[in-house]
């Protein structure tokens, strides 16, 4: 028996040990017993983390959509696969059964084929959280096309960069999207993006808000008439284990976004295994993850992980504040949600509101609560535990990354202990370690250091699209032979991990990773800006918010608030509203080292409101700049 579903602490300990002693056997058993293969593998894993080169289940053949859909038809054909809750609370929810989902995916896949999409082609999905997004993901997987989902809050420029970087042939979008009381002109954003891109041959458009949009002849096609003509039978493309399944962009500390590449078999095995264990899914559960499919959490824990386990997965189109801030709890009560998985920023925002908005809803269906995206602070953890879980639902604080494909460190509900602010223990099969400044692994159990992973796991990213060198440089060059996460962590005497945060220039704002460099690039494009530096500072709801120090060119006499708005508009148009600055301070100059590097450490302290202990600043090129910044700080 494999350890696909861990049911006791004894089994957890045994699985952890077996996975360390004999990872090949451990993953062989899990893969063989719980998935559908057209061909099994010759080798379980081949790895050299210095190249780095990793393959899992080489020689195997499969299709992940077949595992998500066809495999569930006999037993669960009439079970709800996707439960769609629209933005409008008065509109009825849509229940899509496994049978229907299978048909809709096959039909959509035939439309993709009719527009010339073949195995290996890249398709960009820029869609709101409507069923068509999940269906498009699965339709790509069905025919072996590589999906690249771009979060539909990104700007036209950000979308264009992502379309170009992996040379997409098609974009799938909608006329617009609902966001609470507002609508967003998604198709207009796509049109703008495509003015800057070359390779797009066709755009499929889902009608969602029935707005007036421009349709470019021979390029843009409404989806509905194409679906109406297509057959609902589509044999799955047989994929090799290491064929790419998707590309998903994530911000780096420098340069353009990184197209993280995940491959088919390893990703599937780990998404299925981690979902089953972390959420202890049982047949009649109704599971809801509030993330957007534009992020990795939505890929692994709205679409693939749940469907691989025959689960009912909820997709919510709206926002937590519409029509009021009780919306999440209303949905929990309405659909009798059993597992609820959200982000600390949402918890903090909702915890600020009146408790009556929680208490008027019946939350007694809940069994397990989850958190992801950033460290969850103790206060938010207790509020979640007391008021949402009523102290009877274990909380899983799940640490992982886009690059990991699936949850790496977490407690297992009912089996291992949840500890506030600790992600706790690695899932069996994951071998994290802490490294010191000299690049050595810290062997004492109680320690603090930089977190690495020292043995490959099936769903680790294989490369950065089109740039293997950058992949190696970013993740494998800092500590020889180990995957470096970019996070710092503490480990207690029992081996529990507490993530302390990023150790690079990535800042996590409301759970979204933002690199400082792209934001600074956007600010610097303002004609009056000479240079800028962006750092994070603690924020009640966002966890961390952005503080920009901006030096203007000489000749200006503009109103400062007007300039601040212009700078933020610049950021919104280059990246998206999520990257706007909370505070903007205009400076005479930025503190620099003698080699001309901006001293972010000093700016960070000032932004945090702690300028008493800046360390030795005498070696700076321009120590006088520092006093001026302190005097004018917010
Ligand atoms: C942070 C999200 C503390 C971390 C799935 C990581 C967390 C980055 C947690 C990846 C957590 C995510 N506790 N920090 N439970 N979960 N992080 O790629 O810094 O969007 O490196 O993946 O988020 O963010 P990403």
* 526 lies in some domain: yes
* 192 lies in some domain: yes
Containing domain of residue 203, as a range?
66-76+100-244
Whole-number mean pLDDT of the chain? 96
The tens digit of pLDDT for each residue in 273-308 reads 999 999 999 999 999 999 999 999 999 999 999 999
Identify the CA nearest to 305 among candidates 332, 270, 341, 280.
270
487 lines ligand 1 (CB under 6 A): yes
Atom of ligand 1 nearest to the CA of 402: 18
250 lines ligand 1 (CB under 6 A): yes
Residue where one domain finishes, among candidates 213, 244, 275: 244
- Per-residue pLDDT for 149 more than 80? yes
Query: Which pLDDT does position 56 carry in this prediction?
Result: 98
Question: DSSP string covering 179-214, please?
Answer: ETTEEE-HHHHHHHHHTT-S---EEEEE-SS-----
* 156 lies in some domain: yes
The whole-angstrom separation of Cα 281 and Cα 154 is: 33
Strand pairing of 146-149 and 244-250? Answer: parallel
- Per-residue pLDDT for 177 more than 80? yes
- Per-residue pLDDT for 554 more than 80? no
Residue where one domain finishes, among candidates 217, 244, 271: 244
- Per-residue pLDDT for 621 more than 90? no
384 lines ligand 1 (CB under 6 A): no
Please list, in sequence order, all residues whose beta carbon lies within 8 angstroms of the beta carbon of residue 34, skipping any fewer than 6 positions away: 2, 4, 269, 272, 273
Query: Which pLDDT does position 620 carry in this prediction?
Result: 83
Overall average pLDDT of the 3-10 stretch = 98
499 lines ligand 1 (CB under 6 A): yes
**What's the helix, strand, coil split of the chain in %, to 5?**
35, 25, 40
Contact 556, 523 (CB under 8 A): no
* 193 lies in some domain: yes
The whole-angstrom separation of Cα 485 and Cα 327 is: 35
258 lines ligand 1 (CB under 6 A): no
Query: Which pLDDT does position 24 carry in this prediction?
Result: 98
Q: How confident is the model at residue 252 (pLDDT cuts 50, 70, 90)?
A: confident
In this structure, the chain runs to a length of: 634
Q: Give the H or E element holding residue 47.
A: strand 43-48
Query: Which pLDDT does position 624 carry in this prediction?
Result: 87
Vertex 328, ends 327 and 333: CA angle to 5°?
95
* 200 lies in some domain: yes
Please list, in sequence order, all residues whose beta carbon lies within 8 angstroms of the beta carbon of residue 117, skipping any fewer than 6 positions away: 123, 140, 143, 145, 169, 170
Overall average pLDDT of the 235-263 stretch = 93
pTM: 0.94
Q: How confident is the model at residue 555 (pLDDT cuts 50, 70, 90)?
A: low
pLDDT > 70: percent of the chain: 100
502 lines ligand 1 (CB under 6 A): yes
Three-state DSSP at 427 gives coil
Query: Which pLDDT does position 391 carry in this prediction?
Result: 98
Q: How far is the CA of 222 from the centre of ligand 1 (A)?
A: 37
- Per-residue pLDDT for 617 more than 90? no
Residue where one domain finishes, among candidates 244, 274, 305: 244
The tens digit of pLDDT for each residue in 344-391 reads 999 999 999 999 999 999 999 999 999 999 989 999 999 999 999 999
* 125 lies in some domain: yes
Q: In this structure, is the dihedral angle defined by the CA atoms of residues 94, 99, 105 and 108, taken in order, positive or negative?
A: negative
* 446 lies in some domain: no
Vertex 89, ends 86 and 95: CA angle to 5°?
45
**Count of domains forming the chain:** 2
Q: How confident is the model at residue 597 (pLDDT cuts 50, 70, 90)?
A: confident
Q: How far is the CA of 601 from the centre of ligand 1 (A)?
A: 22
151 lines ligand 1 (CB under 6 A): no
Any idea what the CATH number is for the domain that residue 173 is in? 3.40.50.980
Any idea what the CATH number is for the domain that residue 540 is in? 3.30.300.30
Q: How far is the CA of 407 from the centre of ligand 1 (A)?
A: 10
Question: DSSP string covering 485-552, please?
Answer: EEEEEEE-TT--EEEEEESSSEEEETTEEEEHHHHHHHHHTSTTEEEEEEEEEEETTTEEEEEEEEEE
- Per-residue pLDDT for 455 more than 80? yes
Query: Strand runs (DSSP E) across 540-629, as ranges?
Result: 543-552, 583-587
- Per-residue pLDDT for 183 more than 70? yes
Atom 10 of ligand 1, nearest CA residue: 401
409 lines ligand 1 (CB under 6 A): no
Atom 13 of ligand 1, nearest CA residue: 375
The whole-angstrom separation of Cα 517 and Cα 602 is: 17
Atom of ligand 1 nearest to the CA of 410: 15
The whole-angstrom separation of Cα 285 and Cα 599 is: 51
Query: Which pLDDT does position 256 carry in this prediction?
Result: 85
- Of 530 and 99, the structure prediction assigns the larger pLDDT to 99
* 377 lies in some domain: no
523 lines ligand 1 (CB under 6 A): no
Atom of ligand 1 nearest to the CA of 403: 18
The whole-angstrom separation of Cα 629 and Cα 164 is: 39
């Amino acid at each position: 028996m494999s350890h696909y579903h861990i049911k006791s602490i004894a089994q957890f300990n045994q699985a952890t040990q077996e996975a360390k002693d004999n990872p090949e056997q451990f993953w062989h058993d899990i893969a063989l017993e719980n998935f559908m293969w057209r061909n099994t593998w010759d080798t379980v894993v081949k790895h050299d983390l210095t190249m780095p080169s990793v393959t899992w289940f080489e020689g195997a053949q499969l299709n992940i959509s077949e595992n998500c859909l066809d495999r569930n038809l006999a037993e669960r054909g009439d079970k709800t696969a996707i439960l769609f809750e629209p933005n409008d609370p008065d509109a009825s929810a849509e229940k899509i059964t496994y049978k229907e989902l299978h048909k809709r995916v096959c039909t959509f896949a035939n439309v993709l084929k009719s527009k010339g999409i073949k195995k290996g082609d890249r398709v960009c999905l820029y869609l709101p959280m409507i069923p068509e997004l999940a269906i498009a993901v699965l339709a790509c997987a069905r025919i072996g096309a590589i999906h690249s989902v771009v979060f539909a809050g990104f700007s036209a420029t950000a979308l264009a960069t992502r379309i170009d970087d992996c040379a997409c042939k098609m974009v799938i979008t909608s006329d617009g999207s609902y966001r609470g009381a507002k609508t967003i002109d998604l198709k207009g954003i796509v049109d703008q993006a495509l003015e800057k891109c070359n390779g797009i041959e066709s755009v499929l458009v889902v009608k969602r808000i029935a707005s007036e949009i421009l349709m470019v002849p021979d390029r843009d096609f409404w989806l509905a008439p194409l679906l109406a003509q297509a057959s609902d039978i589509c044999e799955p493309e047989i994929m090799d284990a290491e064929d790419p399944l998707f590309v998903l962009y994530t911000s780096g500390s420098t340069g353009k976004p990184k197209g993280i590449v995940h491959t088919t078999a390893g990703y599937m095995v780990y998404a299925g295994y981690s979902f089953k264990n972390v959420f202890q899914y049982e047949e009649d559960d109704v599971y809801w993850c509030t993330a957007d499919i534009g992020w990795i959490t939505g890929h692994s824990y709205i679409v693939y992980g749940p469907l691989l386990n025959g689960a009912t997965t909820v997709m919510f189109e709206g926002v937590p504040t519409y029509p009021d801030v009780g919306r999440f709890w209303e949905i929990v009560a309405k659909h009798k949600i059993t597992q609820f998985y959200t982000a600390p920023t949402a918890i903090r925002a909702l915890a600020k509101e009146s408790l009556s908005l929680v208490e008027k809803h019946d939350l007694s269906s809940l069994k397990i609560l989850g958190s992801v995206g950033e460290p969850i602070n103790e206060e938010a953890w207790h509020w979640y535990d007391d008021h949402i879980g009523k102290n009877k639902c274990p909380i899983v604080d799940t640490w992982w990354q886009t690059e990991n494909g699936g949850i790496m460190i977490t407690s297992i509900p009912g089996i291992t202990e949840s500890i506030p602010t600790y992600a706790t223990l690695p899932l069996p099969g994951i071998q994290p370690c802490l490294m010191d400044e000299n690049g050595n692994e810290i062997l004492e159990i109680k320690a603090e250091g930089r977190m690495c992973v020292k043995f490959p796991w099936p769903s680790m990213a294989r490369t950065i699209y089109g740039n293997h060198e950058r992949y190696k440089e970013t993740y494998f060059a800092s500590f020889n032979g180990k995957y470096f996460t970019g996070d710092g962590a503490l480990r207690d005497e029992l081996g529990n991990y507490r993530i302390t945060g990023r150790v690079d220039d990535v800042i996590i704002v409301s759970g979204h990773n933002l690199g400082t460099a792209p934001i600074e690039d956007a600010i610097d494009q303002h004609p009056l800006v000479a240079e800028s530096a962006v750092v994070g500072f603690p924020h009640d709801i966002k966890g961390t918010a952005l503080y920009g120090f901006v030096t203007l060119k000489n000749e200006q006499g503009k109103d400062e608030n007007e300039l601040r708005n212009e700078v933020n508009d610049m950021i919104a148009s280059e990246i998206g509203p999520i990257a706007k600055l909370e505070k903007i301070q205009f400076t005479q100059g930025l503190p620099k080292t003698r080699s001309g590097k901006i001293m972010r450490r000093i700016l960070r302290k000032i932004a945090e409101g702690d300028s008493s202990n800046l360390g030795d600043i005498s070696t700076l090129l321009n120590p006088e700049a520092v006093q001026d910044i302190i005097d004018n700080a917010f």
